[in-house]
Amino acid sequence: MSFLLGVAIFIVALLGSIMLHEAGHFATAKMFGMKATQFFVGFGRTIWSRRKGETEYGVKAIPAGGFVKIVGMTDLEEVDPADEPRSFRKQPGWQRIIVLAAGSFMHFVLAFVLLFIVAAGIGLETGSAGTTVGAVESCVPANVTVGCAKSDPKSPASEAGVRVGDKIVSIAGIRVTSWTQMGKAIRAQQTGSSVPVVVDRHGQLITLHAKLASLAGHGSYLGVSPLAVFQRVGPTGAVSYAGHQFWTMLSGSASVVARLPQAIPDLFAKNRADTPGGQVTSVVGAGNVTGQVLLIIASLNIFVGAFNLLPLLPLDGGHLAVVIYERFRAWLARLMGRPDPGPVDYRRLVPVSVGVFALLVGVGLLLIMADLVNPVHLQ
């Protein structure tokens, strides 16, 4: 159920982001007087549509993207002579650049606003509530970087009957008042030994007995996580937090893209979580992660916005690169007293666009297959 909920949340967030992305293109195109004839979410067969003015709005069957149809995006498109003055290709370079960049800009604005809301509205984690248990792990994982598999044994805390909300008073007779003290007390015990765990449950002291397990890279293992404490911050602190997190997520997105070629050979490895293959995922994998930890929609938007600016056709970044190249070439021609060489011949770029599109689809399908047959589990 948590997996399905995670997938549902991810898809809804993705579709919402797509709508905002396309709204950025649409609004700026309209602002500059360009003619936009379609605004659709999804691809394939049209499920619903309605025409308002000169634009048809609608939803298509495959929720894998969206598009805004702006007249005359390239010289390959035939345009009604009456619409030519309002076509994309006839507008100044700076206007075309704004329209093309507006989609990613919307992703970045949404991400920043969400990060601000997290800090100012929900609060930032400031620590743990003493020794109060926030979560009881269901198993003893193979190591600290992976989650539970069906074959993993139950965690000592789960077997002993520790519950969320219990306040741990002592471990093996050692009184603890902080999570750090409790960790030291657990690691001081011999693996496999049965130790008394005294908990305060609704004001009543209860003694439980847990047989500590061994966790690679961790030592003696009980299997509990602290109850986190969150504190809201003011507007200035929220802006500072949002800016810092935005940059961290942006650099992380760049790192993920850079690691992609290295990650592909490890997608189907048994130890995928410990390899670069565990750092990249698909919609399926993101949905699975969402079922276990909070989906940070801001991170999704930053990644999609940054990825879309890569100078590769048919991404917006590829069209941006073409416009910038055209303007640079025209400036250079003027500097040398030569006529404007005109727009780029898109017919030469079609094979490149088809190749990049096939590569993106192929990598996407490969990630989905890997997440279905060899998923990454998080603790």
- Listed in sequence order, the residues at least 6 apart from 270 whose beta carbon sits closer than 8 Å to its beta carbon are 374
Whether residue 288 contacts residue 375, with contact meaning beta carbons closer than 8 Å, is answered with yes
Whether residue 57 contacts residue 40, with contact meaning beta carbons closer than 8 Å, is answered with yes
Active site residues: 22
Angle (CA) 240 244 248, round 5°? 170
Residue 68 dihedral angles phi and psi, to the nearest 5°: -120, 125
For residue 314, say if its preceding peptide bond is cis, omega within 30 degrees of 0.
Answer: yes
CA 340 to chain centre: 42
For residues 231, 234, 237, 243, the Cα torsion angle rounded to the nearest 10 degrees is: 100
CA dist list (Å): 301 to 65, 152, 159, 168, 257: 14, 35, 41, 40, 15
Consecutive H or E run containing 20: helix 2-31
User: From its phi and psi, is residue 298 left (phi > 0), alpha (psi between -120 and 50) or beta?
Assistant: alpha
Consecutive H or E run containing 89: none
CA dist list (Å): 137 to 1, 226, 235: 17, 11, 36
Angle (CA) 92 97 103, round 5°? 140
